Structure 1
Amino acid sequence: MSEQRLLLVDGMAILFRAYFATSFTGSIRRTSSGLPVNAVHGFVRYFMDAVNKFNPTHVICCWDMGSKTFRTEQYDGYKSNRPDAPEDLIPQFDLVKDVVASFNVPNVGIVGYEADDCIGTLANRFKHEAEVIVVTGDHDMLQLVDDCVSIAIMKKGIGNYMVYTPTTLLEERQLTPQQIIDMKGLMGDTSDNYPGVRGIGEKTAHKLILEHGSIDGLLANLDSVSKTVRAKIEADLEMLHLSRQLATIHCNAPLDTDMSLCGWSYDRNTVLNKFEELEFKSLVALIS
């Protein structure tokens, strides 16, 4: 096994999780000047926990860069159901990147692509040089699992992860990474707002993929499925293909990130200064 271990952090997933884990109480952590910092504060706790747990030699943090991407061009409705970010979270988008940068960790994102695509691209590029671990809350990432790439899905609370490898994915879901995409193509995704085949939910999608192996296998054997399922698929064939496209993480985004610039090592004083500025006294114990 490689001596090198690259931790790819899904920044947005963790920032949103940190925001909502603390904002439901109604009292938002602020600096003495009134700047909201609850999400950034929570982010640092999740981030340092992941670093301590997975012990990487290299770390990169990936971000979405606005809501317009090549997927919104393919399908107008893509993610159009998402509410605007809470007002208290908006100033924290830049703040959190400053904090990540203070740890000497590159912030990576490309306009027109999602963080998922950056993570997929980097995982693909560096998996021959390092063991890759992706920390996220997003189950779509399971399509990236392979012998060199593990996906650590964050569970409730800090420090709880379900780590997926090809073996655990097969055990838990009876699916291969490629079949994760085909499942989404059939059933759609309510949080990303694309429909898949109307009337086909998770259970039916799972059954069809297990029986036929893939969407292509299913379409080649439409005669063998029930009349009602067949009618649904035939009525929504175009959307089925589009949904599968929308569900696919692109692993060839134009990134020029260099692994040699991502080594996990930071200057403690730089981080302490940033913590002082944001009044994160309670987090100082997390940095050695």
Structure 2
Amino acid sequence: MTDRSHVLIVDGMALLFRGFFATAFTGNFMVNSKGIPRNGLFGFLNYFTNSVETFQPTHVICCWDMGSQTFRNELYEGYKSNRDAPPEELVPQFDLAKDIVTAFQVPNVGVTGYEADDCIGTLTKQLQKDHQVTVVTGDHDLLQLVDDNINIAIMKKGQGNYDVFHADNFYEKKGLTPKQIIDLKGLMGDSSDNYPGVKGVGEKTALKLLMQYETIDNLLADKENLTKGMQKKLDQYAEDLAISRKLAAIHTEVPLTFSVETAVWNNDLTNIRTYLIDELEFQNPGRWLDKLWEKATG
């Protein structure tokens, strides 16, 4: 058992989107008297408070995208160009979700030109030496960050279900090392983020190649011993492979200054209770706060 402090980093984008789409299909956006939709906020609160209750952190941070354009769009014009704009009912809930986090006295972290993933990656690397770090997300791209003292908790279907990846179980679960996730996506591309990889190389082939060669660099160094078909693909799509590797890699040197002292989890939930009732008109904030209060007071 360690006496290290435990920092929980919450992927705010993942939680808010998940909360919104979990209820949006019903058409009930939970609009309050000010005309503000709150269905995403309701789900966000469910996931946020459950993650704190589950992982019992000493510190909490929440990370966000800061607009749709990042350095990856400069690297590759088509990056995420296949995605629709957020639904109009979701748009006002982004800032309100950040206000909720602030009311919890938790810092919001985001840097223009970078994704939330990059901020999360930067923070995990800054904090892992002196702290245990757990990241809560639904984004499997973040698995490349798993390392000593860095766990990634992937949200599963149903509230409170997490698949926790750490340095000791990662290979058993994935058949790869965390760093190989970057090369896996470099080879196979990513349809959700709209970058190509090597055309004709799917996950099964990419996994087989990485199990044999470990890295793309090793693979390319031994290209002459590959099948003629694979040689042709690697030659024909060499540029796509190179750019896809860059796009897949989470940037861990975002220019952000952060003091972990600002992230100490505060068990005084008065501010958030008042905010949820007076500003957002949630009638029963106890559904999110009572369990946290019980944990705090023992």
TM-score of the pair, normalised by structure 1: 0.98
Answer yes or no: is 1:175 the counterpart of 2:176: yes
Measured after TM superposition, the shift of residue 166 of structure 1 is 2.3
Answer yes or no: is 1:36 the counterpart of 2:41: no
Question: Any idea what SS the aligned residue of 2:169 has?
Answer: helix
**Contact map agreement 2:273 2:285 (CA 8 A) in 1:** no
Distance in 2, Cα, partners of 1:3 & 1:168 = 21
Task: Report 1:209-288 matches (<5 A).
Answer: 209-276=210-277, 277-287=279-289, 288=293
Question: Any idea what SS the aligned residue of 2:43 has?
Answer: helix
Distance in 1, Cα, partners of 2:178 & 2:27 = 39
Distance in 1, Cα, partners of 2:74 & 2:54 = 39
Q: Which runs of 5+ in 2 are unaligned?
A: 294-298
Answer yes or no: is 1:76 the counterpart of 2:56: no
Distance in 2, Cα, partners of 1:47 & 1:262 = 15
Match of 2:296 in 1: none
**Contact map agreement 2:128 2:148 (CA 8 A) in 1:** no
Question: Any idea what SS the aligned residue of 1:272 has?
Answer: helix
Deviations 1:205-224 (A, max 9, x none): 11111110010011011122
Match of 1:24 in 2: 25
Q: Which amino acid aligns with 1:283?
A: P
Measured after TM superposition, the shift of residue 49 of structure 1 is 0.3
Measured after TM superposition, the shift of residue 34 of structure 1 is 2.2
Q: Which runs of 5+ in 1 are unaligned?
A: none
**Contact map agreement 1:212 1:218 (CA 8 A) in 2:** yes
Shift of the 18–285 alpha-carbon distance from structure 1 to 2, 3 Å rule, reads: closer
Answer yes or no: is 1:105 the counterpart of 2:101: no
Deviations 1:98-154 (A, max 9, x none): 000000000000000000010000000011111000000000000000121000000
Measured after TM superposition, the shift of residue 26 of structure 1 is 1.7
Match of 1:117 in 2: 118
Question: Any idea what SS the aligned residue of 1:209 has?
Answer: helix
Q: Which amino acid aligns with 2:276?
A: F
**Contact map agreement 1:69 1:112 (CA 8 A) in 2:** yes
**Contact map agreement 1:109 1:115 (CA 8 A) in 2:** yes
Question: Any idea what SS the aligned residue of 1:150 has?
Answer: strand
Measured after TM superposition, the shift of residue 266 of structure 1 is 4.7
**Contact map agreement 2:28 2:39 (CA 8 A) in 1:** no
Work out the number of aligned pairs and report it.
Answer: 288
**RMSD value over aligned CA atoms?**
1.0
Distance in 2, Cα, partners of 1:172 & 1:56 = 25
Match of 1:152 in 2: 153
**Contact map agreement 1:124 1:251 (CA 8 A) in 2:** yes
Distance in 2, Cα, partners of 1:33 & 1:108 = 28
Q: Which amino acid aligns with 1:69?
A: T
Answer yes or no: is 1:93 the counterpart of 2:94: yes
Moved over 4 A (4+): none
Distance in 2, Cα, partners of 1:227 & 1:6 = 49
Question: Any idea what SS the aligned residue of 2:123 has?
Answer: helix
Task: Report 1:188-199 matches (<5 A).
Answer: 188-199=189-200
Measured after TM superposition, the shift of residue 2 of structure 1 is 4.4
Match of 2:143 in 1: 142
Deviations 1:54-96 (A, max 9, x none): 0000000000000111110011001111100001000001100
Answer yes or no: is 1:185 the counterpart of 2:193: no
